[in-house]
């Protein structure tokens, strides 16, 4: 794990892969709880019987937004920031889901610092988060996150 004093210290790591998180299992209970929380109860997430009949692999698939929502917690296993100061989630440039995550799959997060550019009021930090699905040739998710570090 990399430890930095502030998020701005990641400027020194532009172009670097900072490693990966531990593996986490995406089980059906987590998918069901996310469905309840968001109201997204589409059959391919929560109907095990229909998934067994109608989906390749026969298992329900996790919500893409569930996969994305794991980023903050798993990123905390890769980089520890001692003093967050004033840094804000500015959004995502791109989010892609090349392969689905099925109930029971294990995933882990990789972090790569893409850029740290001057922006009005501070620095715009861009990190690429890649969610690896164990055993898959392609990632489950690739997301470019923007954080505005206010100076």
Say what the alpha-carbon torsion angle 14, 20, 24, 30 is, to the nearest 10 degrees.
0
Confidence at residue 85, expressed as pLDDT on a 0 to 100 scale? 83
What architecture is domain 2-150?
Roll (3.10)
Domain residue spans of the chain: 2-150
**What are the mean pLDDT values of the chain's consecutive 10-residue runs (151 residues total)?**
93 97 98 98 97 96 98 97 90 96 98 96 96 97 97 83
52, 124 Cβ separation under 8 angstroms:
no
- Gap between the Cα atoms of 49 and 59, Å rounded: 9
Q: What is the DSSP letter of 140?
A: S
Q: Which residues of 132-147 are buried (b: 16+ CB within 10 A; e: fewer)?
A: bbeeeeebbbbbbbbb
């Amino acid at each position: 794990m990399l430890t930095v004093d502030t998020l701005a210290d990641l400027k020194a790591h532009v172009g670097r892969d900072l490693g990966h998180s531990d593996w986490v299992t995406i089980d059906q209970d987590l998918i069901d709880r996310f469905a309840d929380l968001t109201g997204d109860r589409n059959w391919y997430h929560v109907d095990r019987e229909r998934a067994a009949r109608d989906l390749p692999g026969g298992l329900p698939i996790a919500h893409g937004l569930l996969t994305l929502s794991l980023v903050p917690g798993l990123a905390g296993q890769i980089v520890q920031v001692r003093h967050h100061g004033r840094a804000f989630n500015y959004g995502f440039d791109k989010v892609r889901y090349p392969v689905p995550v099925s109930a029971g799959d294990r995933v882990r997060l990789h972090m790569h610092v893409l850029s740290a550019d001057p922006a009005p009021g501070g620095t715009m930090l861009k990190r690429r988060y890649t969610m690896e699905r164990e055993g898959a040739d392609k990632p489950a998710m690739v997301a470019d996150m923007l954080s505005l570090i206010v100076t």
